[in-house]
Amino acid sequence: MKLWAILLLLAPIGGHSETIPQPFISLEPKWTVNFEGESVTLTCNVVPFYSPWKTTWYHEQFYKTVKKIRGRILQVKESGDYRCQVTGSALSSSVHLDFSKASLILQAPPAVFEGDLVILRCKSRAEAAATAKAINKNRKHLEFLGESSEFRIRNAGLKDNGDYHCTELRKECCNASSNTVKIQVQELFPRPVLTASSRRPVEGNPLTLTCETQLPPQKSSVQLQFRFFKEKQTLGSGWQRSTELQIPAVWEEDSGSYSCEAMGSSIEKSSPTFSVQVQRAAVKVQVHTVPASESVLEGQELVFICSVEGIRGPITVSWYKISNRKKTKIQASPAAEFKILEVKSSDAGMYTCEANNSHYHYEANRPVTITVKVPVSQPELTLRTRRDLVAEGDTVTLYCKVWKGSFPIVYQFYREDVFLKKITLSWKVSFVSISLTAEHSGNYYCTADNGLGPQRSEAVSLTVTVPISQPVLTISTARAQIVEGDSVTLRCATRRGSPPILYRFYHKDVPLRMKSITSEGLASFNFFATAEHSGNYHCSASNSLGTQYSEPVSLSITVPVSRPVLTLRAPRMQAVVGDVLELHCDASRGSPPILYEFYHEDVLLGSHSAPTGGGASFNLSLSAEHSGNYSCKANNDVATEHSDTMSFTVTVPVSRPVLILRILGAQAVVGDVMELHCETLTGSPPILYQFYHENVTLGSSSTLYGGEASLNLSLTSEHSGNYSCEARNMLGAQHSNTVTLSVTVPVSRPVLTLRVFGAQAVVGDIVELHCEALIGSPPILYRFYHENVILGNLSAPSGGRGASFNFSLTSEHSGNYSCEADNQVETKCSEVVTLSISGLTENRSSPVATAVTGALFMVGLAAGALLLYCWLSKKAEGEPSSNSSRSPSDSDPQEPTYHNVPAWIELQPVYSNVNPRGRDVVYSEVKRIRGEAKLTAPPAPTLLRNKDCSVVYSQVKVASTPASRAQLLTASAPHR
């Protein structure tokens, strides 16, 4: 029998006085080499396992113990040697773990035993980068690995010992080589040893052969089988689970060499031979029973056999029952058997036999005591506790009771087919007490056996209610930063606790959902994240023994910013230049920090961060350029949103307007259309423009959008003077500077007056030609003509009463006179006045008169030359000599007009221009009509004429008398 099984039978329940086997460590996953960051779960195992034992772990690095940890199960991520120890045991064998930083590792189990299926796994961090993997032993290639990257050693043996590593062919670069794993195959079990109950048995005696070996604790689950040999001949039925072989009787021929074999996991091992020498017996009489037991079941058939050795010849056998030291003969027969068909309780006692032949009397050397046994009835198992709800730490007592059965009775107790305790009593009731842990839940039963066959009770279920351990809340999401709309999973898990367990989830102490789990130790709750889900979460786990709460776990939900709202705040309803405008941008939703940016016509004005959320403001001192569209943008690194555009108008006071007077020509002339243009550089519409002439309103104009307005004015002479304009909006009015305008008035038709000092014009008289235009802007240039030949010109700088020209008459001065008024806007000619000189044959034609005439002639030549020069200049410039368009007094050439001499000369003497014979002369008006604009050669300088003037001859009637002629001659006589 295995050593740990023997210890199990001897170990009392709940005690620690027995020797505890050395523990061993199991891994999950089973690899000793893993990548850094992975974890391995270590379990400390003891066979048999008793839950009250406490486990201590030792973690060694560089031959130094660096950590001691409690708990049967340990999850590790650090390299080093690990050992465990339970209370009262030795340290386990060390298990070395490596958590490698390499890109390729070879994984192997911690221990390899004979017959194992060994799996070596070649694992890389980036499987997709590899093209092929190979396994090597002792630096020699074994084979290429398939898709699973595993190499299998089936039925491991000593031939498989060695150093293994794997290599990987990579696409990008060079090959990679893993760590080396040393495989050392251990014995599954040692070579068995055969022992016998006796090396020198006597003929006819039984012989027991025992085949002994032992499995390591790690392989305690392997089922060993045994078989026995004599001289290589198989004994019995072959392979069996029992380590013993019973030979009822051996004889001389049974002497020889014996051996055994043990087999497990296809590993077979043979023991060394064991020599047995059967001794020959002298005369010997023995009593045997069939069945070969001194205990006989009630009602069973019992056969006594009297075996006789060493007696030759016919014998007679007699049977005796011994009671109170008295022998009572039962039967005498030549046969060596005595049979009781149905054994009764009264058949119990001592029996013996005697063998007789004709010479000798032999009595059995030892009587046989027959005990009549009553099989036990089916036992009943009851469980007794102090309360109905059994909790961890309580004590339960298991009672196993039989109603009948021979003593002694062996009671055995089991939980889920796992042996707990064995008790042998001469009582019909046995009990055992257990201090309960969570592992004690399950079905219990007991067996009772008094050697006549075990009886098993009905199973009784026991549930040990385990208090809930503190749950652990974990939050799982698809990414590290949780954004609104992501799926969030809350998991609440407990390591211990009897189901059913009720889990509740809380957000800021507000219950979310509850979930009942009957078997698994966790519950989950899913939701899609919103902004309201940020905060602390915890969960609770409850069963019938109470409630435990997890530690809080904080969850932060990042909310994309919503579309912000831009608010413009000014100190008054209508913002004015110089006011401070506050731009406030606020996103109603969004996780902080939020960066706000402010824009004017898509140009960034500035930005402001809101570290704790909410809105942000930006202040702007307003100028005229700040009218327009405003917007803002909110950004919290998850989303960027733009606000709607808001239009904002800055009301600008009007600036001082500028008045511009626009006319077509170089100067303003009556009849021209003048544009008054008023313009402001700045000012918010609508703007009302008003135009003033000498502070009298001319008109107004309102502009809804622009900064200028105009007014057209048809000029008259009254329009000279000062002009200004005014610009007004809702913030006030501004006046322009004053602009002075002088309107040039075309001259009216001048009137020519001839004044002489006598009653008649006589050669030698002084004649005054006076030319005056009643209307016309100065300066006015007056020109005087005699028979269209210029006599001279005079300028009137300030207008006034015209201009005069004096000359002394000669005989050549008779004729037609006219004058011309010119103010460079228009030129007008007077009517023609005829002058008749009296006494042309008299002495007035003296040398003095001749000299005067010569002087006048020279003056006329000079004036003619000057007029010719001016006329030629005007022709070269393409301009007419006079501005007929500005001569409203010109007559229509198709309608002749007759003029009288003006009234202002009525008191003057009336002269006839020509009166050679004293008869009345009547002259009609002769007007020269200019044709279409035809270019003609200029006249000769000596023939300068006033072409634009109409020559009007008035009827002059002269009543001449001698006296008057004499006076004229006298007045015109030259001075000597």
Question: Could you please report the per-residue DSSP string of 350-377?
Answer: EEEEEEE-SS-EEE-SS-EEEEEEPPPP
Average pLDDT, the chain: 79
User: What are the beta bridge partners of residue 490?
Assistant: 475, 525
Euclidean distance between CA atoms 630 and 586, whole angstroms: 14
pLDDT tens digits, 445-477: 999 998 778 999 999 998 888 888 899 999 999
Euclidean distance between CA atoms 748 and 782, whole angstroms: 12
Q: Are 185 and 267 in contact (CB under 8 A)?
A: no
Mean per-residue pLDDT for 15-41? 84
pLDDT tens digits, 234-287: 998 899 999 999 998 887 788 999 999 999 888 899 999 999 998 866 778 888
Beta pairing class for 185-186 and 112-113:
parallel
Euclidean distance between CA atoms 804 and 782, whole angstroms: 9
Euclidean distance between CA atoms 237 and 80, whole angstroms: 51
φ and ψ of 510, to 5 deg: -100, 125
Q: Positive or negative, the Cα torsion across 770, 771, 775, 778? A: negative
Q: Are 853 and 810 in contact (CB under 8 A)?
A: yes
Whether residue 757 is predicted with pLDDT greater than 70 in this model: the reply is yes
Quote the tokens at residue 872.
Answer: 């030629």
pLDDT at 478: 85
Q: What is the dihedral of CA 567, 572, 575, 579, to 10 degrees?
A: -90
Whether residue 643 is predicted with pLDDT greater than 70 in this model: the reply is yes
Q: Residue 421 carries which side chain, given as an amino acid letter? A: K
Nearest to residue 638, comparing CAs of 556, 566, 533?
Answer: 556
pLDDT at 108: 94
pLDDT at 467: 87
414: enclosing H helix or E strand: strand 409-415
pLDDT tens digits, 842-867: 444 344 344 434 444 444 454 454 44
Measured CA to CA in angstroms, residue 145 lies from 177, 775, 949 at distances of 14, 127, 131
Among 54-63, 105-114, 252-261, 388-397, name the one with the lowest average pLDDT.
54-63
Three-state SS at 213: coil
Measured CA to CA in angstroms, residue 915 lies from 751, 906, 924 at distances of 24, 20, 16
φ and ψ of 869, to 5 deg: -65, -45
Q: Which residue has the tokens 């609440």?
A: 492
Q: Are 640 and 634 in contact (CB under 8 A)?
A: yes
pLDDT tens digits, 658-683: 999 999 877 888 888 999 999 998 88
Predicted model pTM: 0.36
State the CB neighbour count (10 A cutoff) for residue 591.
22
Mean per-residue pLDDT for 384-396? 85
Whether residue 653 is predicted with pLDDT greater than 70 in this model: the reply is yes
φ and ψ of 717, to 5 deg: -65, -25
Nearest to residue 463, comparing CAs of 549, 548, 543, 521?
Answer: 543
Euclidean distance between CA atoms 455 and 468, whole angstroms: 39
pLDDT at 603: 93
Q: Are 46 and 60 in contact (CB under 8 A)?
A: no
Alpha helices in 740-799 (DSSP H): none
pLDDT cut 70: percent of the chain above it: 80
Residues 6+ apart with CB under 8 A from 938: 868, 871, 872, 875
Tell me the DSSP string of 828-895.
EEPPPEEE--B-TTSTTSSHHHHHHHHHHHHHHHHHHHHHHHHHHHHHHTT--SS-GGG-TTPPPTTS
Euclidean distance between CA atoms 499 and 521, whole angstroms: 8
Mean per-residue pLDDT for 403-408? 84
φ and ψ of 145, to 5 deg: -95, 150
Mean per-residue pLDDT for 516-527? 77
